A and B are shown apart, each in its own frame.
Chain A
Amino acid sequence: MINNILSFLIFLPIILSIPILFFKAGKDKLIKTYTIAVTIVVFILSIILYFGFDASKSDFQFVEKVQWVTDFNIFYFLGVDGISLLLILLTTLIFPVTILAVWNSITTRTKEFYFLLLILEGSLIGVFLSLDLILFYVFWELILIPMYFIIGIWGGKNKYYATVKFFLYTMFGSLLMLVAIIWLANYATPMIGKFTTDYTELRKVSIFMPLNIQMWMFIFFGLSFAIKVPMFPFHTWLPDAHTEAPTAGSVILAAVLLKMGTYGLLRFSIGLFPLTFVRFAVPIAILGVIGIIYGALLCIAQKDMKKLVAYSSVSHMGFIVLALAGMTVESVQGGLIQMVNHGLSTGALFLFVGFIYDRRHTREIADYGGLTKIIPIFASLFLVVCLSSIGLPGLNGFVGEFMILAGSFASPNLHNNIYTILGTIGIVLSAVYLLWMYQRVMLGPVENEANRNVPDLNKREIISIIPILLFIVWIGVYPNTFLSKSEASVKRVIENVEAAKKNILNIY
């Protein structure tokens, strides 16, 4: 089983989602228990994977490779390295946590909801594990369908607009990616000797392609990832999707779906076209910085808590983009750990917004105030999460942001450290908008009488949030548990970039 553990990770949730459809309607509790059991099993599997993973090797491990389409040499090709390992852990952790946290918020069509959730989990894991471009594309697209229904059926007032926008935006990008995949494989055919979409084969030859061709392929790939991240001019779908999605949808969207974009940038854009990425490092960094500052400024102006958290995603994802553009071992390591951090902190922020929304059915900041006295447990845990998102030393956010800024400050690829300096403004701003929001919601006198009777977090909610807090502190105090696993893989990526740079000097 350990040899096929990756397939188990992907297909366990997908296959075990089918029995849900045959449960009797109305047996909500059973369905929820079943789903959470499945996700916990998947989480345990991923922990087994973590311990089975050899951190000293930079190659893909637990590789599974089966021919899928013979005439095009498309493979069912899975493998895990340090980069995907962390994201797998994040994904499998977020799912049981979310399900437990939103235990009672889904009341209609429970069966379908949990069915779609499991499908979503399987395909997300598939995205992070696929090493064949077409397989990757298939999982990438597959995610749209459950997400479409999750937002569309259980979403808020403007859900139709949000779903269509979400669907069309991402589809636009991903179809360009399909063109790029076919083009790349086709262009590589004479170099490899056969048409194949095997990532490990393609990355050997892709750096030798003419730069202008590389540039177009890079743009096509990059556009679809940039939309997913979302990078600055392509971010407009995100607030809509977040605001309209049910809590579980928002959490998964923020915690995992956005990581697909940065993962794609790291794995495919840098992995396949390192030189082009170096050429584009500065514009990408600029977009990242714009995202950081613009997102933060928008946050300050928000009146709706969920929208605020959504825009804070834009800002935080900007850091990761900046990290990738820096392309040094520290910055990419930092970016990677920041992906996990963002998943944990922003996921938790959405959960807290969801908790309070479940109690009061409003997300307007102005409706609250002085909640600390009424719900002390909520207030204290919420504060921890806010501080983690801001980047308080000792919590996870600090580690990621520090590494990113330190790594990109000295990056030879950016030529200039102005981007990093501007990026730090984002941290200051994040303190402003999160603490200000905290102050308006939690502190001060209780102005709205309706808030008097808000119950505090119950046991289930506390239990659900504890794993996240645990990891927040763990990464903040001892990040090496995770960084050590990814170090070899990240180093290899950077080495590839450097080698490609040397190569280009030899060629020209």
Chain B
Amino acid sequence: MLTQQILDGLSKFYPETILSVTILVIVFVELFFKKKTRVSGWIAMAGLAAAMLFTFLQVNIPAQTIFFQMVAVDPFSYFFKVLLILSGFLIVLFTFLSDEIRSSEFKTQEYYALLIALTLGGFLMASSVNLLMMYLALELSSLSSYVLAGYFKKSNRSSEAALKYVIYGGVSSGLMLFGISLIYGICGSLDMFAISAYLSANPVNLITLLIAIFLMLAGFGYKISAVPFHFWTPDVYEGSPMPVTALLSVSSKAAGFAMLIRFFLVAFQNAGHPTITTEGLHQYITLPGLHWPEVIAVIAVATMTLGNVVAIWQDNLKRLLAYSSIAQAGYMLLAFVVVSPQGISAMLTYLAVYLFMNLGAFFAAILISNKYKTENIEEMKGIGYRSPLLCVSMAVFMLSLSGIPMTAGFIGKFYIFSALINNGYIWLAIIGLMNSVVSLYYYIKILKNMFLIRPQGDTGAVSFGAGYSVLLLALAIPTIVLGIFFGPLTKFAEYSVQIFGLK
């Protein structure tokens, strides 16, 4: 029975197993190389590719839980696995192409091991259905990201950022653990399905439950850098090398969202009681008296407003992107307020789109810092004429992040706002759109410096290798194409959220 269960689980666990093996292989192979090599990077890529392959084999697997209801294998986790692998893959490439890391005197072997560990943590975060599992997965990905943030310690400032990250992470995961213990105390189980069953069958003390939810939100909020758990974000993003920043802003965030969605939708789903509200729409039932979507709405509005308003004042491109990514998390949370398949699939769509545009923006920033040795926006004057391809791509990413039509970002925003409006949250949608206007200001500021101002001093063309251009286009083209043909993506997202059985 026990062996059967574990063997059965393992047969559906190949992607994660491959990633684990990859970590071990990298740690082992590293022993044979005294000098800085790229071998581990290639191993990491191979591991990710193999994991991708085996993930694809799971495409039509029926939703189920394995390992004694610890981990789910379902379309929802599948979606996030694909995102995480894609992001991991791109980050490895970024690392190869980043001068910042190439010129660093540190060996990069463990870097790749930790990168894969973070991806593995993300996989488990997206698929765990047990609170204990969830916490451990979170810790795995957090621990890896702490180290990655401080890996290439260039200055005191970046060490300080890493330390800040650890402390914030420690506190919020502690709070989350406390929330978990409260929920366990209330429901007598760590299993999300059991919690859901208990909550729908028994009266519980709502204040205690709400406190538990707040404490849990601390953990999630820290992972997706939502206000008020965002304080670490700008410093860590600025202090870490660019590929790591990109990784934190995409992989880590996506995994956090996956965990957030699954926790709320599974544990707090009053299964089997859909009703029809006055608007004739099926609405998701929350626990009586416990309006957690409203709590999320407040957090979402605070997050995007703060992110956008503070981003206006930033001169450092990395810091600006950090605040912009805080704001982007706000938009995604906005969709979560609408607890309907439409809202959640809009969120997933946005995440997929966000992957391309945000990684693209970071890659462009990497190239700019490679070639122009600057992260300051004011020093990027006129570079649009010196390296047109780079800057036009950057323009595409910026416009997409701000949600201009014909880019993927518009589609993401369109889906989010239609979900909001369809469910009667018109004012929330308006706040979101006003935020988009504010965000335009700083995205345009970058374009202004790149294109509208004449270059000063050196005006020669600056070109870069074919590999860079290919990768840049590989990110820019989807950003545009997904803005026109997005049917498959949205279908995929809708299919992924079906398992929650929302009406």
Tell me the smallest distance from the CB of A164 to a CB of chain B, in Å: 6
Do A175 and B433 form a contact, CB below 8 Å, given A72-B418, A138-B405, A168-B440? yes
Docked complex Cα distance between A483 and B422 (Å): 42
- Encode B383-396 as 1/0 by CB contact (under 8 A) with A: 00100000000000
Chain B residue numbers with a CB within 8 Å of A436 are none
A472 and B421 CA atoms in complex are apart in Å by: 47
**Which one of A50-58, A182-190, A280-288 contacts B?**
A182-190
Asked if B405 contacts A142 (CB within 8 A), the reply is: yes
Q: What is the distance, in angstroms, from B356's C-beta to the closest C-beta of chain A?
A: 19
A72 CA to B486 CA, complexed, in Å: 12
Using A172-B437, A178-B433 as known contacts, say yes or no to A148 and B417 having CB atoms under 8 A apart. Answer: no
**CB of B481 within 8 Å of the partner chain:** no
**Residue from A138, A152, A182 in contact with B448 in the complex, judged by beta carbons closer than 8 Å:** A152
**Alpha-carbon gap, A148 to B395, bound state (A):** 12
Let me know if B280 is at the binding interface, CB within 8 A.
Answer: yes
Check: A338 CB closer than 8 A to any chain B CB. no
Contacting residues, chain B, for A70 (C-beta < 8 A) = 487
Q: Which residues of B contact A137 (CB under 8 A)?
A: 405
Within 8 A of B (CB), among A325-375: none
Given A144-B404, A168-B441, A176-B433, CB of A186 within 8 Å of CB of B487 = no
Residue B53, interface by CB 8 Å: no
Is the beta-carbon distance between A159 and B405 smaller than 8 angstroms?
Answer: no
Name which residue of chain B comes closest to A160, CB basis. B448
How far is it, in angstroms, between the C-alpha of A335 and the C-alpha of B162 when the chains are bound?
64
Q: How far is the CA of A144 from the CA of B426 in the complex (A)?
A: 25
Judging by beta carbons under 8 Å apart, are A153 and B448 in contact?
no
Report whether B429 and A179 are in contact in the complex, using a CB–CB cutoff of 8 Å. yes
In the assembled complex, A408 has its CB within 8 A of some CB on chain B: no
The reply to whether B440 and A167 form a contact with Cβ atoms under 8 Å apart is yes
Question: Do A164 and B280 form a contact, CB below 8 Å, given A138-B405, A142-B406?
Answer: no
Check A175/B421 contact, CB under 8 A, given A142-B406, A152-B452, A153-B451. Answer: no
Residues of the B chain whose Cβ atoms lie less than 8 Å from the Cβ of A141: 404-406, 410
Instruction: Answer yes or no: A69 CB below 8 A from chain B CBs.
Output: yes
At the interface, yes or no: B399 with Cβ under 8 Å from chain A?
Answer: yes
CB atoms of B426 and A179 under 8 A apart: yes
| Interface membership of B109, Cβ < 8 A | no
The CA-CA distance from A384 to B25 in the complex, in Å, is 83
B401-439 interface bits toward A, Cβ cutoff 8 Å, 1 = contact, 0 = none: 000111000100010011001100010011001101100
Q: Which of A87-141 contact B (CB under 8 A)?
A: 109, 134, 137-138, 141
**Residues from chain B with Cβ under 8 Å of A182 in the complex:** 414, 417-418, 421-422, 429
Q: How many residues does chain B have at the interface if contact means C-beta atoms less than 8 Å apart?
A: 31
Q: How far is the CA of A394 from the CA of B486 in the complex (A)?
A: 54
Cα A137 to Cα B406 with chains together (Å): 10
A142 to B410, CA, bound (A): 12
Are B280 and A171 in touch, CB under 8 angstroms?
Answer: no
What residue in chain A is nearest B385 (Cβ atoms)? Answer: A109
Residues of A within 8 A of B417 (CB): 178-179, 182
For A184, the closest partner residue in chain B by CB is: B421
- Within the complex, the shortest CB–CB distance from B463 to chain A, in Å, comes to 15
B418/A186 in contact, CB under 8 A: yes
Residues of A contacting B452 in the complex (Cβ-Cβ under 8 angstroms): 149, 152-153, 159-160, 163
Q: Is the CB of A175 within 8 A of B426?
A: no
Q: Do residues B405 and A175 form an inter-chain contact, with CB atoms below 8 A?
A: no
Q: A141-B410, A182-B414 are in contact. List 8 more A-B contacts (CB 8 A).
A: A71-B491, A144-B404, A153-B452, A159-B452, A171-B440, A178-B414, A179-B417, A182-B429
What is the interface of chain A, defined by CB distance below 8 A to chain B?
Answer: 69-72, 109, 134, 137-138, 141-142, 144-145, 148-149, 152-153, 159-160, 163-164, 167-168, 171-172, 175-176, 178-179, 182-183, 186, 190
- Report which B residues bind A (CB closer than 8 A): 280, 385, 399, 404-406, 410, 414, 417-418, 421-422, 426, 429-430, 433-434, 436-437, 440-441, 444, 447-448, 451-453, 486-487, 490-491
The 5 closest A-B pairs by CB, nearest first: A152-B452, A138-B405, A175-B433, A141-B405, A182-B421
Subset of 25 A-B contacts with CB under 8 Å:
A71-B491, A134-B414, A138-B405, A138-B410, A144-B404, A148-B447, A153-B452, A159-B452, A160-B453, A163-B448, A167-B440, A168-B437, A168-B440, A168-B441, A171-B436, A171-B437, A179-B421, A179-B429, A179-B430, A179-B433, A182-B422, A182-B429, A183-B421, A183-B426, A186-B421
